[in-house]
Amino acid sequence: MKTVLTIAGSDCSGGAGIQADIKTITMHYCYAMSVITALTAQNTTGVYGIEQTSDEFIANQLDCVFTDIFPDAVKIGMVYGNNSAKVIADKLSFYKAKNIVTDPVMVSTSGSRLISEQGLENLKKYLLPISALATPNVPEAEILSGINIKNLQDMQNAAKIISDKYGCAVLCKGGHLEDCSDDLLYFDGEFYTYPSVRIDNPNTHGTGCTLSSAIASNLAKGFEIPQAVENAKAYVTRAIGVKLDLGKGRGPLMHNYILQNFK
């Protein structure tokens, strides 16, 4: 059994964060573990509260996981506290964690900030350099690279800038582009594109969380980054394509789509 750890925030409505990650990892037949960095009170319409986990308690959770069931891959999502990124990076380095995928979560689909300025500085300084792969969406890639992104050429430039700055592979996700949802990977000096038509579905709460956990699950299974991204992209595309419609706002994905005919 391959094991995957998600280090992220809890979404009580089940669409994003820890809950999306555990569903995704489980659907990949991997064993899911979770270190919770913050509790959020949110649903498909917005984020209504955030309670940060103390740095000591994040460290305590990481010790419990790593001293008992060593994860084959680690996904990092929402890191809310000012110094949480440093605490996490120190522990991951100490335990020599492998296959670290960081989704630099900054703002929710519903528009709330999920990281502080100081938290973002620490994410850049401590977490990206120890990651195998970072998975920014277009607005996040603009912030990390300092350039505007309108098309695939801009995504290539941004991915290379981010990779050169932080020393990790970079997948720039295209969910925020206008007419397609192509993703762009820069890995080991080469560009890979993952084309996809834009699915007409407003319910995309948790797409980024799902994609990064699916990549981590594929890395845990032994796939190299380009193939892990291809498999994960196929997973998220199908999960969006089912067009589940839950909640009053931007709804979540359906993970158990292979079971959809079983009512």
Ligand X SMILES: Cc1ncc(COP(=O)(O)O)c(N)n1
**Looking at beta carbons only, is 3 or 207 nearer to ligand X?**
207
The residue from 23, 28, 91, 205 that contacts ligand X (CB under 6 A) is 205
The residue from 132, 236, 253, 254 that contacts ligand ADP (CB under 6 A) is 236
Interaction pattern, residues 45-84, with ligand X; x per rule: CB under 6 A:
--------------------------------xx------
Least CB distance to ligand ADP at residue 142 (A): 12
Give the separation between CA 209 and CA 259, rounded to whole angstroms. 21
With binding defined as CB under 6 A, does residue 109 bind ligand X? yes
Least CB distance to ligand ADP at residue 111 (A): 12
93 token code pair: 């380095």
Please list the active-site residues.
Answer: 173, 204, 206-209
With binding defined as CB under 6 A, does residue 58 bind ligand ADP? no
The residue from 71, 104, 208, 251 that contacts ligand X (CB under 6 A) is 208
The residue from 163, 181, 213, 217 that contacts ligand ADP (CB under 6 A) is 181
Give the separation between CA 186 and CA 168, rounded to whole angstroms. 9
* Full strand arrangement of the beta sheet holding 100-102: 46-52, 31-43, 3-11, 73-76, 100-102, 133-134, 169-172, 183-187, 190-194
With binding defined as CB under 6 A, does residue 209 bind ligand X? yes
Give the separation between CA 53 and CA 67, rounded to whole angstroms. 20
- For the chain, how many residues are written? 263
Segment near ligand X (CB under 6 A); pick from 64-72, 91-99, 202-210, 238-246: 202-210
Tally the C-alpha atoms within 13 A of residue 89's C-alpha that lie toward its C-beta.
18
Least CB distance to ligand X at residue 114 (A): 6
Give the separation between CA 193 and CA 235, rounded to whole angstroms. 16
Give the other-Cβ count within 10 Å of 57's Cβ.
14
Helix (H, G, I), strand (E, B) or coil at 8: strand
Phi-psi region of 167 (alpha: psi -120 to 50; beta: other; left: phi over 0): left
With binding defined as CB under 6 A, does residue 40 bind ligand X? yes
Question: Where on the chain is the footprint of ligand X (CB under 6 A)?
Answer: 8-9, 11, 16-17, 40, 77-78, 105, 108-109, 114, 205-209
Question: Where on the chain is the footprint of ligand ADP (CB under 6 A)?
Answer: 137, 173-176, 181, 183, 196, 198-199, 201, 204, 207-208, 211, 233, 236-237, 240
